[in-house]
Amino acid sequence: MSLYDRILGHPFVYHHIRPLVVGIDYTPQYEALDAGPDARILDIGCGGGDALRYLARFASYHGFDTDDVAISFARQRPESGRPNVHFATALVSSTDFEVIRPTHVMMNGLLHHLDDESAVELLKMCAATDSVQRVVTNDTVYLPGELLNNIMARLDRGRFVRDIEGYRDLVSRAGMSIAREETVRSHPRRGIARYWVMVLTRCRRSAAHRRFRLGRCATRLRDPWRPAIPGDFGRRAQSHRRHAARGSCRAGSW
């Protein structure tokens, strides 16, 4: 690991300095995860366990990260004393998926650290696990015309920051569906960076439906902090129910 990565990844810099510079609030990402009291949450690339600040309810939480320093930090935070919270310094494997049987998978800030092959492999594990109802990804992204954002993205520790199509391509190669996608400011008022958030489901919709939905989303790169328009969400839910009724995916999966 380079000195640059070590400094930026140090828990003090990550949790105290970075929020002052970039402005960080992951509330929309965790709202998108929509974890209820029965959720078994698998947090891949959990870092210092920040997720526990946002997750009010779950049956169990399992954080995995390859960085031992981050996991040690996570284990020391007071929230790690909540019931059924587990941390592991490890690459997550298909055996972990079989044992944990996650219902909700969080990849907050992970995909831009992974090359295409590793990212697709991980998403395929989600696709192959029938307990998984929802996967949320959140990543630094290159956006056309967003100079400041793109400079921040270039300075990111992640070596695989992509543009929007690059992230969509990973999902498509893993055989998952994008139920919702949008850019989100790193903080509603102070955020100078933009993140690309995708809500993924295991069901594969028809190509026609995907073209219809992606076409709409591509023209909807709107002010990201704005909450989903209720009517719009309602229409998406209706469309989803129509597909569920036709048997192309499970009802209520997002």
Binding residues vs ligand SAM (CB under 6 A): 44-47, 50, 64-67, 70, 91, 108-110, 113-114
CB of 51 to ligand SAM, least distance (A): 6
Rounded to a whole number of angstroms, the minimum distance from the CB of residue 135 to ligand SAM is 14
Closer Cβ to ligand SAM, 66 or 253, answer by number: 66
CB nearer ligand SAM, residue 133 or residue 186: 186
Which residue's Cβ lies closest to ligand SAM?
47
Nearer to ligand SAM, 58 or 64 (CB): 64
The length of the chain in residues reads 254
The smaller minimum CB distance to ligand SAM, of residues 65 and 181, is found at: 65
Least distance in Å: CB of 81 to ligand SAM?
A: 19
Q: Judging by DSSP bridges, how do beta strands 85-89 and 104-108 pair with one another?
A: unpaired
Rounded to whole angstroms, the Cα distance separating 230 from 251 reads 19
Beta carbon of residue 79, minimum distance to ligand SAM (angstroms, whole number): 13
17 Cα distance to chain centroid: 22
CB-nearer residue toward ligand SAM: 44 or 141: 44
With contact defined as beta carbons under 8 Å apart, do 163 and 143 qualify?
A: yes
Rounded Cα gap, residues 155 and 74, in angstroms: 25
Which position has the token pair 């008022």? Answer: 189
Q: With both helix axes pointing from N to C terminus, report the angle between 230-245 and 207-218 in degrees, rounded to the nearest 10.
A: 170
Q: Is the four-CA dihedral 92, 93, 97, 99 of positive or negative sign?
A: negative
Q: How near is the Cβ of 240 to ligand SAM at its closest, in Å?
A: 27
